[in-house]
Structure 1
Amino acid sequence: MSALSPALVIAGAGATGIACALAAARQKIPVVLLEKSDRLGGTVTGALIHTLGGFFDDRGDALNPGLSAELIDRLVEASPYTCKRRIGKTWVLNVDPAIYQQVISRWLNEYPGINVCYRTGISHAAINAQRIEAVTVNCDEQSRTLDTLAVVDATGRADIVRSIDSLWVSEGSALAGLIVQLGGVSPGTLDFPKGPALLRHIRKAVENHELPPECATLWLDGGVYPDEIYLKFNLPANDYDHARMLTVVNRLLAFLQVRPGFADAFIRCDGQLGIRDGGRVYGDYTLTEADLKQGRQFDDAVCRAAWPIEYWHPEHGVSLDYFPPGHSYQIPLKALKVGGLNNFFAAGKCFSAEPRAQASARVVGSCWAMGEGLINAYFGKS
């Protein structure tokens, strides 16, 4: 770890953390980007998210300029299969998670001022005069203290906030998601009306105990490439058993393989459990559902958002609350500021918001815009 000190220290190399790092590097601010795993990309690459929401409004136009727009351009340039796609009343960016990871890795490598540290986390924060003056980071059983310009918790679970004071975090209860890529599927297998009919067949098989109960929440989606589909399970996070779910997936695959289009299907890749709400901090301001629905504007706004309130209730499943045509809302800096500390922020999925407000703002596009907007607001846009 050879970063300059003091530095902007960011925990979490997902959408928000990467956007923070790039925005800071463009202002010549030294950055230490800490990632507890051994790869970049957060939920997109870890949980295999191929439909990236939050970049567009309901007309399909870009919501936020800057890094978000540049990311789209880079992803489109990297693969002819990257494309804008309409799903219901929303627009998403269809992208291969592996391409996403390649693009962000190359992007970060363009900036020598960004020091990326894998398998690394913060173990201690030294606080004085309402500022975090230094943090102790651990990597491969070695520790080092870094002086800090500011600290951003972009872990998605408020890990750094919890390590300072767990009372600053409200726990989440939304269902998590498990995504599995299937390859070898005949093109057009999910085309209307075949897709909905297959899903009804799966639901009936669960009712008749031919398939495990975990398949009752299943959604099917076309993939990025013509021969793949994505299986999307929605599950409680607290008692998740990955070995059990691999058994469920194999039973479902066997069930599908005797149906049209699936004879040659195989498991291409299975993702980590994707946590939709791993806890939200109590910030200087809590963004409310009313703020979203009123399209509230803030003097310290860091970005705009417009994704519907996509709330995955632990008992009742998903509900989608769409906004009126042309509607958007703002996310303020004060909802990212934590614990009364002047240089400590939690951004991305764990920012300060009511559960249903977080259910709209947590998507990838909003997190990219939130990360860049935080840096520009705190350090001043160059």
Structure 2
Amino acid sequence: MAQTLIQENYDVVVTGGGCAGIAAAISAAKAGMKTLLVEAGSMLGGELITGLCIDGALNARGEWIVGGVLKEILDEHERLGGYIGPVKDWRLIWYVCVDPEIMKLAVANVVRRAGVHVWMYSFAEDVVRRGDEITGVVVINKRGRVLVEAPVYIDASGDGDIALRAGAQMMISNDKGEFQPVTMLFRIGGVDTMDLLRFCVDHPENLAVGESEWMGASLTPKECAQNLYDQGQPAVFFKANGPLITGGIERGELQQTALIGIIPVSSERKEVSVNTTRVANIDATDAVALSRVFSDLTDQAWRSIAFMKKNIPGFEKSYFAGLSHRIGIRETRRVVGDYVLTGDDVRNARKREDGIGKGSHHIDIHQDGTKQVRIPVADGGSYDMPYDMLVAKGIRNLYVAGRCMSADREGHGSARVMGPCMAQGEAAGLGAALTLRGNQPGDLRSVDIGQLQSELKKQGAIVDGTH
């Protein structure tokens, strides 16, 4: 029997409740727009709540380059407790370290306060397009099939689901068809931080440190390790070609990996998050393939915990504390926008008059086995993300933000992390509001970029004034 479509209307519809999506929805709702946020899963926040640190919110010089919605969420986290904040790894970048359990509450509080309408457990399955305009998105959940109509849509799905169904041009992977590895983050409690850091000082040959002039390139690895010790936080990256990981792989105790990344998530619980599991060349838009690899990743996580307890001081009395609520995906589809962010933009720290946010994360492309590309941004600075990279080419009223952004593979390798994704989402949400207030509602190319930049700065976003 054919199912009758329910019909609803909003000013702005955002698909995807990860970093970019929540920033977009909050920004649009705070600007007075009736905003719907559609999320297929059971929680809002995406990578913010997996245990991963927030990359790309500060440049290598330690300057904040992302504010606005991100700062509001971090302020709420700090109010609730458990916030750690910026930590240096003496490798390439600064991280913002958060407690994923408290972050779940912080995200929910800020989304609610902004007045966003949220549909969780809901999937945007189809698009209605007339000419160069999207006129509706079909959302399915246990309520039924709902046709949601709005003047502006924001695709923050990570995989470009709305853009694909609307017929936008897409980019996938590279010319070899490779995909960066998928990852399952896990957490370990009861870690003795100072024992771990003493091990780093005694065995600096294991550390990925001093990879930029702003992170100790003029220092010896031991001096960098001493700086980590003095910082007093368990923010440690063991490199693939160091004896610790090489020995573990040779003995069969550890999977082939580019790193063991250890990041603090809770000082109170002596808890860290670990990034080391990986399975490469999985097309994460294939639900069957992605589901099949889940058990491989959890097996790797359990083996990694045993390896760390046996081989890394500070972990002897540690215990398994938690698993990410989802598989971490680095890349799938990228949408072609009116501008494609490039690796040259990133590595040269290119500034632009039409910048609506900043990125500073190095070009970061994980590969199969133990390989990883890491190319820093020039002078420890940041690059500007142009407005046109948010606008889906050939479609009048569709923004793309977050992992499905318009970028080549190198540009994406930097801008895919949480800091710049939230800046993209915030700009898209406010841009949607500006076009709906203007003379050509829904025409994203009619937005006055200068006005958008001014309004972004009023709500605390960082558009200029940094290296």
Cα distance in 1, alignment partners of residues 181 and 272 from structure 2: 22
Amino acid at match of 2:394: G
Please tell me whether residue 320 in structure 1 is matched to residue 374 in structure 2.
yes
2:43 to 15, 39, 46: 39
Cα distance in 2, alignment partners of residues 307 and 97 from structure 1: 21
Relative to the length of structure 1, the TM-score reads 0.89
Cα distance in 2, alignment partners of residues 248 and 298 from structure 1: 43
Q: Counterpart of 1:367 in 2: which secondary structure?
A: helix
1:183 aligned partner? 189
Please tell me whether residue 193 in structure 1 is matched to residue 201 in structure 2.
yes
1:213 to 246, 255, 276: 255
2:172 aligned partner? 170
1:97 to 100, 107, 130: 100
Amino acid at match of 1:317: K
Cα distance in 2, alignment partners of residues 371 and 3 from structure 1: 26
1:224 to 244, 248, 265: 265
Question: 1:120, CA displacement in angstroms?
Answer: 0.9
CA gap of 1:300–1:213, structure 2 versus 1, over 3 A, is same
1:262 to 315, 318, 322: 315
Amino acid at match of 2:10: P
Cα distance in 2, alignment partners of residues 6 and 81 from structure 1: 35
Q: Counterpart of 2:187 in 1: which secondary structure?
A: strand
Q: What is the correspondence of 1:1-382 to structure 2 with a 5 Å cutoff? A: 5-45=9-49, 47-49=50-52, 51-88=53-90, 89-112=92-115, 114-140=116-142, 142-165=144-167, 168-171=170-173, 173-191=179-197, 192-193=200-201, 200-209=243-252, 211-214=253-256, 216-226=257-267, 227-233=270-276, 234-236=278-280, 238=282, 241-259=293-311, 260-271=313-324, 272-314=326-368, 317-325=371-379, 327-380=381-434, 381=452
8 Å CA contact 2:155, 2:400 repeated in 1? yes
Q: Counterpart of 1:144 in 2: which secondary structure?
A: strand
CA gap of 1:163–1:315, structure 2 versus 1, over 3 A, is farther
Cα distance in 2, alignment partners of residues 63 and 3 from structure 1: 40
- Which structure's residues are more often strand, by fraction? 1
CA gap of 1:195–1:92, structure 2 versus 1, over 3 A, is farther
8 Å CA contact 2:184, 2:328 repeated in 1? yes
Amino acid at match of 2:280: P
Task: Provide, for residues 278-315 of structure 1, a one-character-per-residue CA deviation record: whole Å limited to 9, x for no partner.
Answer: 22111222111122234334443221222211221335
Amino acid at match of 2:347: K
8 Å CA contact 1:189, 1:195 repeated in 2? no
Q: Counterpart of 2:79 in 1: which secondary structure?
A: helix
Q: Counterpart of 2:185 in 1: which secondary structure?
A: strand
8 Å CA contact 1:16, 1:368 repeated in 2? yes
Greater alpha carbon shift after TM alignment, 323-332 vs 32-41: 323-332
Relative to the length of structure 2, the TM-score reads 0.74
8 Å CA contact 1:286, 1:352 repeated in 2? yes
CA gap of 1:167–1:83, structure 2 versus 1, over 3 A, is closer
Question: 1:356, CA displacement in angstroms?
Answer: 0.8
Cα distance in 1, alignment partners of residues 409 and 94 from structure 2: 23
Listed as ranges, the gaps of 5+ residues in structure 2 are: 1-5, 207-237, 283-288, 435-451, 456-467
Cα distance in 2, alignment partners of residues 195 and 75 from structure 1: 35
Amino acid at match of 1:94: C
Cα distance in 2, alignment partners of residues 166 and 281 from structure 1: 7
User: What is the percentage of aligned positions where both structures have the same residue?
Assistant: 23
Amino acid at match of 2:247: K
2:437 aligned partner? none
Amino acid at match of 2:322: C
Q: Counterpart of 1:189 in 2: which secondary structure?
A: helix
Question: 1:3, CA displacement in angstroms?
Answer: 10
CA gap of 1:146–1:348, structure 2 versus 1, over 3 A, is same
Amino acid at match of 1:138: I
Greater alpha carbon shift after TM alignment, 328-337 vs 2-11: 2-11
Task: Provide, for residues 60-117 of structure 1, a one-character-per-residue CA deviation record: whole Å limited to 9, x for no partner.
Answer: 22213422333333333332442211122422211111222211100111133x1100
Question: 1:258, CA displacement in angstroms?
Answer: 4.1
Greater alpha carbon shift after TM alignment, 344-353 vs 326-335: 326-335
